[in-house]
């Protein structure tokens, strides 16, 4: 009489290992969000270059062109963390009239809300793309 018990134990261990590897792969793909990710995040650097009255002038200093309608900016005050306001990109005004897409070196303005910031305070800004991912931030002294 022949004993085949060892063969079935090896086969069952191989099946369990295969199932474990497949499950770990699925969990890893889901956790890193590479599964079904289709929208590429915006890659651009925008910086505040100057303040003119109630307007802050921003410039695209690196990265890809930015459609103003596809972004929003959140303003804050460094000295008062309770103050913040979200402004849609449609409220930003390009310095080149009629063009709502900003290219490398182009500038646009943002009208600071009335009494939002006082002189000698630091206005903080953070730009977000359509998926609410931040892509650029900084601050400027008013």
At 88-110, the pLDDT tens digits run 999 999 987 667 899 999 999 99
Do 81 and 115 reside in the same domain of the chain? yes
Residue pLDDT, tens place only, 8-32: 788 888 899 999 999 998 888 777 7
Do 11 and 73 reside in the same domain of the chain? no
Q: Into how many domains does the chain fold?
A: 2
Do 11 and 68 reside in the same domain of the chain? no
Residue pLDDT, tens place only, 44-72: 999 999 988 889 999 999 999 999 999 99
The pLDDT mean for the chain works out to: 86
Name the band, by pLDDT with cuts 50, 70 and 90, for residue 128: very high
Which pLDDT value is given to residue 36?
55
Which pLDDT value is given to residue 87?
92
Do 84 and 34 reside in the same domain of the chain? no
Sequence-ordered list of residues with C-beta below 8 angstroms from that of 119, at least 6 positions apart, any chain:
142
Question: What residues are paired with 63 via a beta bridge?
Answer: 44
Do 89 and 136 reside in the same domain of the chain? yes
Do 20 and 67 reside in the same domain of the chain? no
- Whether the pTM exceeds 0.95: the reply is no
Do 119 and 87 reside in the same domain of the chain? yes
Do 119 and 69 reside in the same domain of the chain? yes
Q: Which domain holds residue 11?
A: 1-38
Do 15 and 48 reside in the same domain of the chain? no
């Amino acid at each position: 009489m022949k004993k085949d018990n060892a063969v079935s134990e090896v086969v069952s261990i191989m099946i369990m290992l295969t199932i474990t590897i497949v499950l770990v792969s699925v969990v890893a793909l889901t956790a890193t969000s590479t599964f079904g990710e289709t929208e590429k995040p915006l890659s651009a650097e925008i910086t505040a270059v100057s303040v003119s009255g109630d307007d802050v002038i921003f410039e695209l200093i690196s990265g890809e062109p930015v459609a103003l309608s596809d972004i929003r900016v959140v303003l804050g005050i460094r000295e008062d963390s309770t103050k913040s306001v979200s402004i849609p990109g449609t409220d930003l005004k390009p310095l080149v009239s009629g063009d709502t897409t900003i290219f490398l070196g182009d500038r646009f303005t943002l009208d600071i809300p009335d009494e939002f910031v006082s002189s000698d305070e630091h206005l903080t800004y953070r730009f977000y793309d359509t998926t609410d991912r931040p892509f650029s931030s900084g601050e400027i002294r008013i």
